[in-house]
């Protein structure tokens, strides 16, 4: 058991190393050289560096050393938590990300809680009424919902609920230049702004959890102990949620952690629809202004988060299901 766990962890470390290596080599594989031109606006005289200047800058950035030395110094920098310095924002990458990440984390967690709970309830009801009208209607609805891309759902909500009906703000994470009279006011404003992004992300993920819960529940409902429960005369709700769901939960719990990668992808799209100040929006801004160090920092962070969540899913699965070992 312990040995398998160690093997699993070393597998994840391998993956992490591959990602870091990719992150290191991508800018070095890029066509072009940052020191070829000093400035070359269109229609103007092209200013180039002299040989000595190029040599000086290469030495300054450590680019004159052999690639292996660069690689080890890159990794040792990472281990010390130094992801780099953003040229555009003029700040450490870790500080910039630190300011923005809580917005993303809070909407992602809220969305995952809402979509998994709603998905479980709807899926269980659907499985209980299998092949009934409710089941067929829900199934078709969820199948269609899970096909529509995240940003289209977001645009739909934005135009109907925010622009036409005016129930929610159009953009941002909180009111700009606002003076809040109390702490509760502030919280309310943040929740008000977060509502649509969270709703969109939840709707996007809902289909997946619904289908999973439905399938898992259907297989549990055919078990013998369910017949026993029904024969004992237990109520419908008690059978579904106490006896059925407890056994059907296993795949759902692990999926909660596994779907985090897809959720981060969805968050990038949704944050840009609603101009939400999270990491996804930051990533797009960074690409737009060609701040490559920041783009790589965000990518690394997302990759590490997703890897950790996968590892947790593995561990939890083993804990919850004693049959797996």
Partner 1 sequence: MKYVKQGMKNIKGFTLMGKTGMAVVCVVLFLGIFSDRLSVHPYNLPSGSAFEAPGPVHWLGTDDLGIDLWAQICFGARVSMIIGFGTALLAGIGGSLIGICSGYFGGLIDKIVMRVTDIIIVLPDLPTMIVLGAFFGPGIRNIIIVLALFSWTVPARIVRSKILSVKEEKYVVAAKNYGAKFWHLTIRHFLPNILPVVMVSVIRLFSKAIVAEAGLAFLGLGDPTSKSWGLILNHAVNFRGIYFTDYWKWWIVGPSAAIMLLVTAIAFICRDVEKIVNSKI
Q: Given the rule CB under 8 A, which residues bind partner 1?
A: 11, 14-15, 18-19, 26-27, 29-30, 143-144, 147-152, 155-156, 158-159, 162-163, 170, 261-262, 264-266, 268-269, 272-273, 283-284, 287-288, 290, 292, 295-296, 298-299, 302-303, 306-307, 310
Output the 3-class SS for 255-305.
Answer: HHHHCHHHHHHHHHHHHHHCCCCCHHHHHHHHHHCCCHHHHHHHHHHHHHH
Q: CB 39 → partner 1: shortest distance, Å?
A: 21
Q: Considering beta carbons, is residue 87 or 237 the nearer one to partner 1?
A: 87
Between 119 and 297, name the residue whose CB sits nearer to partner 1: 297
* Nearer Cβ to partner 1 (125/306): 306
Residue 173 or 266 having the CB closest to partner 1: 266
CB of 272 to partner 1, least distance (A): 6
d(CA 217, CA 214) in angstroms, rounded, equals 5
Supply the minimum distance, in Å, between the C-beta of residue 291 and partner 1: 10
Given the complex with partner 1, which of 253 and 307 has the nearer CB atom? Answer: 307
Question: Phi, psi at residue 174, to the nearest 5°?
Answer: -160, 170
User: For helices 245-258 and 292-320, what crossing angle results, to 10°?
Assistant: 160
Under 8 Å CB-to-CB from 58, ≥6 apart: which residues? 35, 64
Nearer CB in complex with partner 1: 250/258: 258
CB of 287 to partner 1, least distance (A): 5
Helix axes 260-273, 245-258, angle to 10 degrees: 60
Contact 215, 135 (CB under 8 A): no
Sequence-ordered list of residues with C-beta below 8 angstroms from that of 257, at least 6 positions apart, any chain: 309, 310, 312, 313, 316
* Closest distance to partner 1 from the beta carbon of 78 (Å): 16
Q: Which is nearer to partner 1, 220 or 311 (CB)?
A: 311
Q: Shortest Cβ distance from residue 121 to partner 1 (Å)?
A: 24
Q: Using CA atoms, how far apart are residues 123 and 218, in angstroms rounded to an integer?
A: 9
DSSP, res 48: E
What is the closest distance, in whole angstroms, from the C-beta atom of residue 283 to partner 1 in the complex? Answer: 6
């Amino acid at each position: 058991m312990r040995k398998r766990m160690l093997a699993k962890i070393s597998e994840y470390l391998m993956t992490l190393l591959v990602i870091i290596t990719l992150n290191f080599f991508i800018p070095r594989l890029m066509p072009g050289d940052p020191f070829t031109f000093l400035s070359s606006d269109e229609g103007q005289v092209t200013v180039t560096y002299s040989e000595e200047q190029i040599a000086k800058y290469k030495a300054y950035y450590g680019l004159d050393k052999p690639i292996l030395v660069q690689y080890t110094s890159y990794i040792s920098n990472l281990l010390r938590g130094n992801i780099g310095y953003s040229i555009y924002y003029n700040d450490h990458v870790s500080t910039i990300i630190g300011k923005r990440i809580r917005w993303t984390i809070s909407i992602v967690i809220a969305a995952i809680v809402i979509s998994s709970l709603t998905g479980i309830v709807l899926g269980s009801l659907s499985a209980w009424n299998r092949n009934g009208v409710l089941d067929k209607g829900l199934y078709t609805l969820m199948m269609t919902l899970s096909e529509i891309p995240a940003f289209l759902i977001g645009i739909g909500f934005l135009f109907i609920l925010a622009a036409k009906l005016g129930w929610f703000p159009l953009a941002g994470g909180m009111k700009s230049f606002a003076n809040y009279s109390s702490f509760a006011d502030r919280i309310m404003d943040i929740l008000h702004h977060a509502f649509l992004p969270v709703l969109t992300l939840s709707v996007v993920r809902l289909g997946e959890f619904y289908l999973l819960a439905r399938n898992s529940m259907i297989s549990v409902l055919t078990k013998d102990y369910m017949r026993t429960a029904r024969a004992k005369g237990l109520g419908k709700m008690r059978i579904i949620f106490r006896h059925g769901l407890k056994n059907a939960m296993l795949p759902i719990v692990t999926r909660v952690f596994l779907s985090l990668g897809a959720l981060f992808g969805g968050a990038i799209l949704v944050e840009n629809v609603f101009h939400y100040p999270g990491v996804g929006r930051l990533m797009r801004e960074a690409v737009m202004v060609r701040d490559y160090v920041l783009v790589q920092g965000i990518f690394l962070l997302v990759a590490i988060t997703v890897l950790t969540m996968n590892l947790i899913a593995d561990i939890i699965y083993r804990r919850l299901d004693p049959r797996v070992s």
